[in-house]
């Protein structure tokens, strides 16, 4: 049997949900290589390995990710027990690396190009994929009884556009950009905010500023990166009404861990069969 670090895994996407899968694979002894876009738009930045694209290095729960220039550097970083991230939105590196397993964790609610020919084992998270057609397995990402369920035939539940319920609050806790422009943050993740409080503004064309106010009172659990250029209607912030959950702003979520456990289950079974 091959050592786990010789089983080649590539993951597309490193947002907060993808980070749960990346983290669990890493802790189980696998060393995945991660592909990201040039300007990731994670809201829960404190628990997203994608932040390494901006900061070069980021650490989450004791696991470090590092931005690299190419596949050769990525392999060396993986061997040094860190997570390498390559900016490669199109997935060109996939063909160069020829991974044993490929995980599409972009969560775009649609397929941005992943197909079964890219690896011997292909896994996709959430809607937009059909198991047995676009990939080998789909993992359910909708909160509820089936969260994390491994789908061998068919698709995940379609996107409802309704955020998950936290302490009885759903739509109200998520904030979308009221206009197009550059984000200028006035508060930071982990801050306690009050309903109606100014947390950021959008700097639009002609220097026009549009205020972004807290939709409810609570903990600012997610806030898009300062200077990000957002379109109107783009998700930019997330408020948790539970004031006692401050540490949750800086740890991987239950949802991400559940989905990550399913990814680990599939990959471990494949690895053990070699």
Identify the CATH number of the domain in which residue 192 sits.
2.40.50.100
Mean pLDDT of 39-50: 97
Residue 122 lies in a domain: yes
Residue 46 lies in a domain: yes
Residue 248 lies in a domain: no
Same domain as 114, residue 17? yes
At residue 105, does pLDDT exceed 70? yes
At residue 69, does pLDDT exceed 80? yes
Residue 166 lies in a domain: no
Residue 17 is inside which H or E element, if any? Answer: helix 16-27
Same domain as 192, residue 85? no
Q: How many helices (H) and strands (E) does the chain have?
A: 5, 17
At residue 161, does pLDDT exceed 90? no
Mean pLDDT of 52-57: 98
Percent of the chain whose predicted confidence (pLDDT) is above 90 = 89
Same domain as 154, residue 118? yes
Which band of pLDDT confidence, cut at 50, 70 and 90, is reported for residue 117? very high
Question: Between 126 and 167, where is the model more confident?
Answer: 126
Same domain as 178, residue 151? no
At residue 169, does pLDDT exceed 70? no
Mean pLDDT of 151-176: 82
Residue 152 lies in a domain: yes
Eight-class DSSP state of 163: P
Per-residue model confidence as pLDDT tens digits over 181-197? 999 999 999 999 999 99
Same domain as 221, residue 142? no
Same domain as 23, residue 62? yes
Mean pLDDT of 207-222: 95
Partners of 69 in the beta sheet?
Answer: none
What pLDDT is recorded for position 2?
Answer: 43
What pLDDT is recorded for position 56?
Answer: 98
Same domain as 146, residue 202? no
Percent of the chain whose predicted confidence (pLDDT) is above 70 = 96
Same domain as 205, residue 153? no
Q: Is 214 helix (H, G, I), strand (E, B) or coil?
A: coil
Give the pTM.
0.93
Same domain as 237, residue 177? yes
Residue 249 lies in a domain: no
Range of the domain at 230: 171-241
What pLDDT is recorded for position 47?
Answer: 98
Same domain as 268, residue 209? no
At residue 7, does pLDDT exceed 90? yes
What pLDDT is recorded for position 103?
Answer: 98
Same domain as 218, residue 134? no
What pLDDT is recorded for position 167?
Answer: 63
Tokens of 206: 């002609």
At residue 205, does pLDDT exceed 50? yes
Number of domains, the chain: 2
Cα–Cα distances in angstroms (integers) from residue 102 to residues 7, 25, 121, 202, in the given order: 11, 13, 6, 37
Residue 109 lies in a domain: yes
CA distance 190 to 239: 9
At residue 4, does pLDDT exceed 80? no
Tokens of 5: 């670090």
Domain CATH for 114: 3.40.50
Same domain as 123, residue 8? yes
Mean pLDDT of the chain: 94
At residue 162, does pLDDT exceed 70? no
At residue 64, does pLDDT exceed 90? yes
At residue 3, does pLDDT exceed 60? no
Mean pLDDT of 36-40: 97
Residue 165 lies in a domain: no
């Amino acid at each position: 049997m091959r050592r786990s670090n010789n089983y080649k895994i590539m993951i597309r996407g490193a947002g907060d949900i993808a980070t749960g899968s990346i983290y669990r694979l890493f802790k189980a002894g696998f060393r995945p290589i991660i592909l990201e876009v040039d300007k990731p738009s994670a809201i829960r930045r404190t628990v997203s390995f994608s932040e390494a694209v901006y900061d070069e290095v980021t650490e989450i729960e004791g696991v470090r990710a590092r931005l690299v220039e190419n596949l050769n550097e990525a392999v060396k970083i993986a061997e040094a027990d860190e997570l390498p991230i390559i900016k490669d939105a199109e997935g060109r590196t996939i063909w160069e690396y020829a991974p044993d397993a490929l995980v599409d964790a972009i969560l775009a609610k649609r397929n941005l190009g992943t197909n079964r020919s890219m690896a011997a084992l292909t896994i996709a998270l959430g809607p937009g994929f059909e198991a047995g057609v676009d990939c080998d397995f789909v993992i359910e990402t909708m909160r509820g009884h089936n969260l994390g369920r491994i789908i061998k035939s068919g698709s995940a539940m379609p996107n409802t556009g309704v955020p998950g319920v936290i302490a009885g609050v759903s739509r109200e806790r998520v904030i979308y950009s009221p206009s197009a422009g550059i984000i200028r943050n006035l508060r930071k993740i982990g801050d306690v905010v009050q309903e109606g409080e100014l947390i950021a503004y959008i700097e639009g064309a002609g220097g026009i500023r549009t205020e972004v106010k807290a939709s409810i009172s609570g903990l600012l659990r997610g806030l898009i990166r300062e200077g990000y250029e957002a379109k109107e209607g783009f998700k930019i912030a997330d408020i948790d009404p539970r004031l006692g959950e401050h540490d949750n702003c800086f740890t991987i979520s239950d949802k991400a861990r559940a989905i990550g456990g399913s990814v680990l289950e599939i990959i471990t079974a494949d690895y053990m069969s070699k």
